[in-house]
């Protein structure tokens, strides 16, 4: 009872035509391409953060200046 008859095996042509397509492995930091991609993502994220922080700082500075002007206008001093 070690082996049972299951029927004939499919034709090799059928097996070869129904093989899944090859998929590339995900990039890891253990490969040169993965390291390059990770570094690029970090640089883009850092540049985006720097640009956003500069934009926020500029907005805060102009906001502070305009609020000072409003305060000075209310009090009558310039």
Given a contact cutoff of 8 angstroms between Cβ atoms, the answer to whether 28 and 34 are in contact is yes
- CA torsion, ordered 36, 41, 42, 44, to nearest 10 deg: 120
pLDDT of residue 32: 87
Given a contact cutoff of 8 angstroms between Cβ atoms, the answer to whether 27 and 33 are in contact is yes
The pLDDT tens digits for 7-55 are 887 788 888 888 888 888 777 778 888 888 888 888 888 888 777 776 6
Mean pLDDT of 53-71: 63
Q: Full-prediction pTM beyond 0.85? A: no
């Amino acid at each position: 009872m070690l082996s049972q008859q299951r029927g004939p095996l499919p034709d090799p042509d059928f097996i070869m035509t129904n093989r899944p397509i090859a998929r590339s492995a995900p990039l890891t930091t253990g490969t040169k391409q993965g390291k390059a991609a990770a570094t690029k993502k970090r640089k883009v994220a850092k540049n985006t953060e720097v640009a956003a922080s500069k934009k926020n700082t500029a907005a805060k500075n102009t906001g502070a200046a305009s609020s000072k002007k409003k305060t000075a206008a209310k009090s009558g001093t310039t």
